[in-house]
Amino acid sequence: MVKICCIGAGYVGGPTMAVIALNREAMPGKNLFFSTNVEKHVSEADIIFVSVNTPTKTRGLGAGKAADLTYWESAARMIADVSKSDKIVVEKSTVPVKTAEAIEKILTHNSKGINYQILSNPEFLAEGTAIEDLFSPDRVLIGGRETPDGQRAIKALKDVYAHWVPEDRIICTNLWSAELSKLAANAFLAQRISSVNAMSALCEATGADVSQVSHAIGKDTRIGPKFLNSSVGFGGSCFQKDILNLVYICECNGLTEVANYWKQVIKVNDYQKSRFVNRVVSSMFNTVSGKKIAILGFAFKKDTGDTRETPAIDVCNGLLGDKAWLSIYDPQVTEDQIQRDLAMKKFDWDHPVHLQPMSPTSVKQVTVVWDAYEATKNAHGLCILTEWDEFKSLDFQRIFDNMQKPAFVFDGRNVVNADKLREIGFIVYSIGKPLDPWLKDMPAMA
């Protein structure tokens, strides 16, 4: 029986190993172990997955763009140190194109006669749907060397997935295609959101409604309906990181135009967040200084407590920069996390916790509460930054009664019924929707 070990038990490594284990034995649970004795398990394994962090570099060459492969390299060196038999090493982390070549060099230069085959097997799961995505993936991608040994390694990994994934969904390619396809998939997905968000600004300027536009274009089977929801901006641990990485690789290959093309996806995302902040401030008489503003939702999307690169961080920091007082409510994010996020430097979050900066001093204009009604009490405005279902069924009359007047709602996820809220008396801004008369007269966006 093939023995599998995974280095890195985070969002990707943990669920991936659980699903592989569940699909191999009649008695699931007896074949899945979590251990810190990494040397022992690596030396016993036939196939070693590596799903450690690959954050954006914060210092040195390529800072702010290139992937930091420190954790990957240390995993590879450890594999080289402890291995006594041939190994298949699987890149599960998202890595720059050609990483396999670097890993191969580290392993073979320390090989003691052991044969290593490196495979690229990127992961496409999304958070909140990880188990469904792993059980029923659109595709599994395996890249390897085009040598007989490389092809044998591909077959060995294919056999692992073939326990539950139909064969026609397992795509085998060369190494570089597999590595690049992961970056390309995330870049295309993020590009769709930036495209619809760019349209949202034009919708506001013209009286078009972005939901109607999305619906109309999504009906074209060549475009398709998914991933066309306008928002305050995309977040999450990977879209920005992977596009920056792609941009860096293009630049290193002298492809400036291609790099600039993809950079624009991030620029539009940043524009969308600052556009939202500008809307809030300009609507409220051009100042939010000393005003209480409720923030409903802090996670980067609903059904997760994950705040990595959440647009809420930039929106909150933008409002704090204008001296607002924020009262934040998210059903799954803790006060400690929010305080850390608002004080942390860009990209520091994507390192193992023990390597992150010590607990920062808390931002004093921020309070975190466990109830949307508490958050909105006496507030001048409320901003919806995550599309939690519970925000749709809030008692907005009660909220209105307890807010300062005029009372503003800024819906960054298009979750509330703007007409109903206007009937109650709110001034409502919904991303990409025809503007409230109040907002029409306010200064145009930067």
Ligand X SMILES: NC(=O)C1=CN([C@@H]2O[C@H](COP(=O)(O)OP(=O)(O)OC[C@H]3O[C@@H](n4cnc5c(N)ncnc54)[C@H](O)[C@@H]3O)[C@@H](O)[C@H]2O)C=CC1
Ligand Y SMILES: O=C(O)[C@H]1O[C@H](OP(=O)(O)OP(=O)(O)OC[C@H]2O[C@@H](n3ccc(=O)[nH]c3=O)[C@H](O)[C@@H]2O)[C@H](O)[C@@H](O)[C@@H]1O
The set of catalytic residues is 238
d(CA 273, CA 276) in angstroms, rounded, equals: 5
Is 54 annotated to bind a ligand? Reply is yes
Q: Is the peptide bond before 406 cis (omega within 30 degrees of 0)?
A: yes
Rule CB under 6 A: choose which of 64, 166, 207, 352 binds ligand X.
352
Q: Kindly write out the interface string for residues 75-104 of this chain, putting x where it contacts ligand Y by CB under 6 A and - elsewhere.
A: -------------------x----------
Is the Cβ of residue 202 or residue 355 nearer to ligand X in the bound state?
355
Is 308 annotated to bind a ligand? Reply is yes
Cα 443 to its chain centre, rounded Å, is 32
Residue 75 interacts, among ligand X, ligand Y, none and using kind-specific CB cut-offs from 5 to 8 Å, with ligand X
Does 54 interact with ligand X (rule: CB under 6 A)?
A: yes
Q: Are 431 and 385 in contact (CB under 8 A)?
A: no
What secondary structure does DSSP assign to 150-164, as a single string? HHHHHHHHHHHHTTT
What secondary structure does DSSP assign to 75-141, as a single string? HHHHHHHH--S-EEEEE-S---TTHHHHHHHHHHHT-TT--EEEEE------TTSHHHHHHS-S-EE
User: Which of helix, strand or coil describes residue 414?
Assistant: coil
> With contacts defined by CB under 6 A, how many residues of the chain interact with ligand Y?
21
How many helices (H) does the chain have, and how many strands (E)?
Answer: 16, 12
Does 217 interact with ligand Y (rule: CB under 6 A)?
A: no
Q: Are 50 and 81 in contact (CB under 8 A)?
A: no
Rule CB under 6 A: choose which of 20, 53, 76, 376 binds ligand X.
53
Does 314 interact with ligand Y (rule: CB under 6 A)?
A: no
Rule CB under 6 A: choose which of 18, 193, 368, 427 binds ligand Y.
193
Q: Kindly write out the interface string for residues 116-135 of this chain, putting x where it contacts ligand Y by CB under 6 A and - elsewhere.
A: -------xxxxx--------
User: Which of helix, strand or coil describes residue 253?
Assistant: coil
Q: How many CB atoms lie within 10 A of CB 108?
A: 13
Task: Return the residues of window 9-48 that contact ligand X according to CB under 6 A.
Answer: 9-13
Task: Return the residues of window 117-136 that contact ligand X according to CB under 6 A.
Answer: 123, 125, 127
Q: Which residues bind ligand Y (CB under 6 A)?
A: 94, 123-127, 186, 189, 193, 227-229, 231, 234-239, 300-301
Binding residues for NAD(+), by number, are 8-13, 52-56, 93-94, 127, 238-241, 308
* List of residues contacting ligand X (CB under 6 A): 7-13, 51-54, 71, 74-75, 93-94, 123, 125, 127, 237-238, 352
